[in-house]
Amino acid sequence: MNTLARVKELADERSISLYRLSQISGVNYSTLKATSRKQGQLSVDTIELVCVGLGITLQEFFSDDQSDSNVEG
């Protein structure tokens, strides 16, 4: 999984720019930009901060199937 692409996807869904996300999550904007330029992966610590900023769990971040919440139990 490309973690930065996932961050961008989740931010876009919420109409939040990466700059704004960096402000609300406490992740340095330069970290997100440098990762983007290097096509690298974000650390788990950084992903945790992003999740807090987005108001989601790590499980939700790594979930590829958005229909999980629609499954009847």
CATH number of the domain enclosing 40: 1.10.260.40
Q: Hey, what's the torsion of the CAs at 16, 18, 24, 30, to 10 degrees? A: -170
Task: Indicate whether 68 belongs to any domain.
Answer: no
Predicted confidence band at 66 (pLDDT cuts at 50, 70, 90)? Answer: low
33 inside domain: yes
49 within a domain of the structure (yes/no): yes
**Residue 19 covered by a domain:** yes
Residue 25, in any domain of the structure: yes
Predicted confidence (pLDDT) per residue in 5-62, tens digit: 899 999 999 999 999 999 999 999 998 888 777 777 899 999 999 999 999 999 999 9
Who contacts 32 (Cβ-Cβ below 8 Å, separation ≥6)? 4, 7, 18, 21, 22, 42
For residue 71, tell me if it sits in a domain: no
> Where is pLDDT greater, at 72 or 14?
14
The model's confidence at residue 1, banded by pLDDT at 50, 70 and 90, is: confident
Task: Compute the distance between CA of residue 4 and CA of residue 10 in angstroms, rounded to an integer.
Answer: 10
How many domains does the chain divide into?
A: 1
The boundaries of the domain holding residue 8 are 3-58
* Residue 37 forms part of a structural domain: yes
